């Protein structure tokens, strides 16, 4: 695996790294893992969780539904079961818009 400094090329993420990505506690990550069956981390012999890039994408989706859209746990589970593709697209749009906003804020600071 070639790593050019881009975290998207990383194969596995620890629970601490995932929690840091979303500014959450590790207990929150463990809870979501239990509640949502789309999160399936690998475990080593000691029981440490290792999340794949797909798991991180699913955390983005869950985070978007719960924290940004205000869904309840039950509502988010139903949304994922009934309309996973639509929820995934909305989450991707949200991530892209945040990146664009960040770029524009940085650009504005440079111009000021």
Q: Write out pLDDT tens, residues 1-46.
A: 334 444 556 899 999 999 999 999 999 999 999 999 999 999 999 9
For 45, residues 6+ apart whose C-beta sits below 8 A from its C-beta are: none
**At 63, is the secondary structure helix, strand, or coil?**
helix
Structural domain contains residue 2: no
Structural domain contains residue 1: no
Q: Which pLDDT does position 4 carry in this prediction?
A: 41
Structural domain contains residue 14: yes
d(CA 40, CA 12): 12
State the pTM of this model: 0.75
Q: Which range of residues forms the domain containing residue 40?
A: 7-111
Q: Write out pLDDT tens, residues 44-87.
A: 999 999 999 999 999 999 999 999 899 999 999 999 888 878 88
Number of domains composing the chain: 1
For 24, residues 6+ apart whose C-beta sits below 8 A from its C-beta are: 63
Phi (first) and psi of residue 90, to 5 degrees:
-65, -40
* Domain of residue 50, CATH code: 1.10.1660.10
């Amino acid at each position: 695996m070639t790593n050019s400094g881009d975290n998207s090329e990383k194969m596995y993420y620890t629970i601490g790294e995932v929690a840091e990505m979303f500014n959450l506690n590790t207990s929150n990550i463990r809870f979501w893992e239990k509640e949502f069956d789309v999160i399936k981390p690998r475990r080593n012999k000691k029981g440490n969780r290792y999340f794949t890039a797909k798991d991180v994408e699913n955390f983005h989706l869950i985070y978007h539904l719960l924290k940004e859209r205000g869904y309840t746990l039950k509502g988010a589970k139903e949304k994922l079961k009934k309309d996973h593709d639509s929820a995934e697209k909305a989450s991707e749009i949200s991530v892209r818009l945040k990146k664009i906003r960040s770029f524009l804020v940085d650009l504005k600071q440079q111009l000021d």
